[in-house]
Amino acid sequence: MRIFKWRLLALPFLLLALTVGLLRPGAASALPAAPADTDPQKLARETRERLGWPGLAMRVLSRDTIETEYLAGTDGTGRPLTADSALPVGSVSKSFTALAVLQFVHAGDV
């Protein structure tokens, strides 16, 4: 029983470790760094086209304020992207689930 509990608790830690590993600076090396004078809207459009995505949404943040939003392409239904468009998060939701489980474990609820 105790071994099963440790294995069950190890899964969220493993997922968190994998997520943190993906967030390291080298993980984004597949995309070239943009020159400082590049127009963000143009960069979004070119990145979307190069990767074959129907749409791409980016936000430029400064501390806790949204400086600018850049939208290019369409959502999954073919409508142009807006600030209110719903976009799939894919495997990223697993990280949020792992974080929630870890918070329950830390609080002693699991």
pLDDT in tens, 31-47: 566 566 667 777 777 88
Q: Is 14 contained in some domain? A: yes
- What does pLDDT average to over the chain? 73
Q: Catalogue the E-assigned strands of the chain.
A: 55-62, 65-73
The CA-based diameter of the chain, rounded to the nearest angstrom, is: 59
Position 30 in a domain: no
Q: Within a domain: residue 77?
A: yes
The answer to whether position 34 is within a domain reads no
Whole-Å CA distances, 21 to 13, 15, 25: 12, 10, 9
pTM over 0.75: no
Q: What is the Cα–Cα distance from 27 to 61, expressed in whole angstroms?
A: 21
Whether 60 is covered by a domain: the verdict is yes
Residue 32 resides in a domain: no
* Rg over CA atoms, the chain: 19
Domain count, the chain: 1
